[in-house]
Amino acid sequence: MPDRRTIAVIGAGYWGPNLARNFKANPDWELAAICDLDRERAQRVADAVGGAAVVTSLDEVLADAAIDAVAIATPARTHHDVVCAALAAGKHVVVEKPLADSRELGERMVRAAAERGLVLMTDHTYCYTPAVMRIRQLIEEGELGDILFVDSVRINLGLIQPDVDVFWDLAPHDLSVLDFILPGGLRPKSVSAQGADPLGAGKACIGYLSLPFGNGSIAHVHVNWLSPTKIRQMVIGGTKRTLVWDDLNPQQRLSIYDRGVDIDRQSAATAERRAATVSYRLGDTWSPALPEHEALAAMASEFAAAISEGRPARTDGHAGMRVLSVLDAAAISLRAAGAAVPVDAGHASPSNRSPLEVVA
């Protein structure tokens, strides 16, 4: 199997075991090692996945010429140093979201990967779920028409994180999905963030993001650590149809409503706005069957494919940067009482998006 590559997982905390299990089971990969400062923790992960070398030194892993790539699941504040060291050692890298804890450091990582011709991938796991892949496909094929609005809610009783607020903890999920499914990627004009810390935890535990786009459409994200009811729902309104993704309803995760409001744009364009003709469509609802696969398995395959084909991964460093740019602008807006903060227009989505079939 000449294409089989060797990988080490760095970090055996919360997410590392999932990465280890999936790279172990993936035919494209050989899991060589689990690396963590805490040997016992690394050993437990190695045992649970049926065996792998255990290493406590990052340098040792990076010095091992037999290792082609690393999957990094360490805290966000360490991403820059660990990723840059791995790239310097010639390793391809996939790194847990968010790409980095600041925009500047993220930029350096992307540049470092580009200079060395290595794959730098962000583990935007949700983008590899059957539901999100189907949403992207439906939008690409024009089933929804032009996107008018996206409203995303991700609320639950959640652990108050010691080092990040609720925006940095939860919103990367929503933002990475937006980046993946919107035709132009996540490129809002500006970001307004509203946060609240009613318990005095020292950081926002409730957050709202408004992301207006140039064409009049808007995305909005609600993240909340303090809600006893769990909601994970995204409504995507289009000119032709509207889609609701309810991630907690396994029996009907996606619903596509063939209904909406039509406005007679000719009359709307005149001075007589009051006379604008509005009409309603009340059509059928449709819920596509989804294949069942684990998202991380598809992510691992995509990482291998990107390396083999010498192309950017579907959720590459630029995707990570578009998410990071919004988080960065949100942090500034938060300090400015919610004022609209422009988002830098760098990191254009690649003109030749890799086709969906690759990971389907």
d(CA 315, CA 352): 13
Name the segment binding a second copy (CB under 8 A); options: 7-15, 73-81, 115-123, 226-234: 226-234
348 binds a second copy (CB under 8 A): no
What's the closest the beta carbon of residue 34 comes to a second copy, in angstroms? 16
DSSP 178-204: HHHHSTT-S--SEEEEEEE-TT--SS-
Which string of x and - marks every residue 195-214 that binds a second copy (by CB under 8 A)?
-xxxxxxxx-xx-x-x-x--
What's the closest the beta carbon of residue 256 comes to a second copy, in angstroms? 9
Query: Looking at 87-201, which runs of residues are DSSP E strands?
Result: 92-96, 120-123, 147-157, 190-196
Tokens 């294409």 sit at which residue?
3
What single-letter amino acid sits at 157?
L
Q: Give the CA distances from residue 97 to residues 171, 253, 309, 332, in Å, rounded to whole numbers and listed in that order.
A: 10, 24, 24, 20
Which one, 150 or 321, has the nearer CB to a second copy? 150
332 binds a second copy (CB under 8 A): no
Which one, 270 or 351, has the nearer CB to a second copy? 270
Q: Could you say which residues in the range 23-82 bind a second copy, by CB under 8 A?
A: 47-48, 50
Closest CA to 10 of 36, 32, 31: 36
Interface with a second copy (CB under 8 A), residue from 106, 130, 172, 260? 260
Which one, 18 or 224, has the nearer CB to a second copy? 224
Interface with a second copy (CB under 8 A), residue from 25, 84, 160, 358? 160
Name the segment binding a second copy (CB under 8 A); options: 25-33, 115-123, 191-199, 306-314: 191-199
Which one, 160 or 358, has the nearer CB to a second copy? 160
6 pairs with which residues across the strands?
A: 30
Q: Is the dihedral of CA 83, 84, 88, 92 positive or negative?
A: positive
Name the segment binding a second copy (CB under 8 A); options: 28-36, 72-80, 254-262, 300-308: 254-262
Contact between 285 and 257 under an 8 Å Cβ cutoff? The reply is yes
d(CA 281, CA 260): 5
Which one, 206 or 300, has the nearer CB to a second copy? 206
What single-letter amino acid sits at 18?
N
Six-digit token string for 360: 């389907």
Count of residues that interact with a second copy, criterion CB under 8 A: 76
d(CA 360, CA 353): 15
Interface with a second copy (CB under 8 A), residue from 183, 252, 344, 346? 252
What's the closest the beta carbon of residue 269 comes to a second copy, in angstroms? 7
Contact between 233 and 152 under an 8 Å Cβ cutoff? The reply is yes
Q: Could you say which residues in the range 111-130 bind a second copy, by CB under 8 A?
A: none
Alpha helices in 52-102 (DSSP H): 58-63, 79-88
Name the segment binding a second copy (CB under 8 A); options: 12-20, 108-116, 269-277, 299-307: 269-277
310 binds a second copy (CB under 8 A): no
Interface with a second copy (CB under 8 A), residue from 37, 63, 88, 278? 278
334 binds a second copy (CB under 8 A): no
d(CA 226, CA 159): 9
The contacts of residue 279 (CB under 8 Å, 6+ apart) are 261, 262, 264
Name the segment binding a second copy (CB under 8 A); options: 18-26, 95-103, 258-266, 304-312: 258-266
104 binds a second copy (CB under 8 A): no
Contact between 202 and 114 under an 8 Å Cβ cutoff? The reply is no
Which one, 229 or 352, has the nearer CB to a second copy? 229
162 binds a second copy (CB under 8 A): yes
Name the segment binding a second copy (CB under 8 A); options: 31-39, 99-107, 263-271, 310-318: 263-271
